[in-house]
Amino acid sequence: MIRANSRVTINTMRIKQLTGAQVTALEQTAEALHTEVVQAQVIPFDTGNLQNESMFVDYSESAKGIATLVHTTPYARRLYFHPEYDFHTDENPNARGEWYEDWLPGGKYEKFASDAFKEFYRRAGGL
């Protein structure tokens, strides 16, 4: 008969550090996506309100794993869900409806958020 003993030590400080790194990485990823979308010049731009003053990242639920890109203008939803509109392309040459589609599953930049999160998590977690 073979006997074996083992001892497991849980490093709670490291777990807290990695949990905090998740939140930090999520917030940094949301901010990077915000910057990426603005730089892609896909948001309809007339006065700049939709893209600049009325667009921000909401971190209020980041501890729960939720970060949200928010447009606070009342017309944002109408413009987003109606790609058939004739958008001005003077300021943003790629302006269109459904401007987040390239970063959603199936879009040409669908891996942007997951790749950014991995890199931010690696840095924040000291990995």
DSSP 60-113: TTGGGT--EEEE-STTHHHHHT-TTS----SS-TT--SSTTGGGSTTSTTTTHH
For the record, the structure tokens of 27 come out as 């917030």
> Tens of pLDDT along 57-83?
999 999 999 999 999 999 999 999 998
pTM listed for this prediction: 0.88
> Tens of pLDDT along 30-50?
999 999 999 999 999 988 899
> For the residues 16-32, what does the mean pLDDT come to?
96
Task: Write down the pLDDT at residue 82.
Answer: 92
Evaluate whether 82 touches 99 at the Cβ level (below 8 Å). Answer: no
Distance (Å, whole) CA 93 – CA 85: 15
In the three-class reduction of DSSP (H, G, I as helix; E, B as strand; rest coil), residue 9 is classed as coil
